[in-house]
A = this chain, B = another copy of it.
């Protein structure tokens, strides 16, 4: 046999189910995805799915919580802003553009929609994802802003509030538009424009 993936057969099946379920839920939503679909897509018998995950809800929960590790990239992105007075605007614009581009990826938007859509049925899940994903990025960003403030580059009372305003200025419009429409609605050029304008307003308020 091919020892493609490490970690025994069972672990490989587990992985395959996770990946198939993630793709399926993302594409067709919770109610729109059947356990047969997932089993078929994972090239696995339905019995095996139920061996690894008690029921559909458990499977969904694990899928969603497993995605929170994707925020690590965002954390890294916002954690180190160079403390250089001359190039502050330039650096923030670069950060803002990456911020916007990352959060406008179809996968990210789809995940957002998936969680929001099922926040009624899985309130704990939505709350957990908000705290472990959303708020972690915000507090990290707030820390970075606080450092810039300590060095006199920004004028900030409440760093967390500043981080909130930062993301609100950048994200409110494009993310909302994407939420109500099927998917991303903006070209890279438009996103960059939002980023530039947002940073201009942010610096006018906080420098």
Contacts and interface: CB of A to CB of B under 8 A. Distances in A.
Contact of A115 (B180, B197, B201): B180
B204 A120 contact: no
B158 A197 contact: yes
A204 to B, nearest CB: 4
Interface stretch (A10-18, A36-44, A77-85, A169-177): A169-177
Contacts of A117: 29, 113, 116-118
A180 to B, nearest CB: 4
A108 interface: no
A130 B177 contact: yes
A198 interface: yes
B119 A116 contact: no
Nearest to A155: B204
Contacts of A113: 116-117, 119-120
Contact of A127 (B158, B167, B181): B181
A157 to B, nearest CB: 9
A134 interface: yes
A164 interface: yes
Contacts of A120: 28-29, 113, 182
B201 A206 contact: yes
A67 to B, nearest CB: 13
B179 A168 contact: no
A119 B197 CA distance: 28
Interface of A: 28-29, 31, 113, 115-120, 123, 126-127, 129-130, 134, 158, 161, 164-165, 167-173, 176-177, 179-182, 197-198, 200-202, 204-206
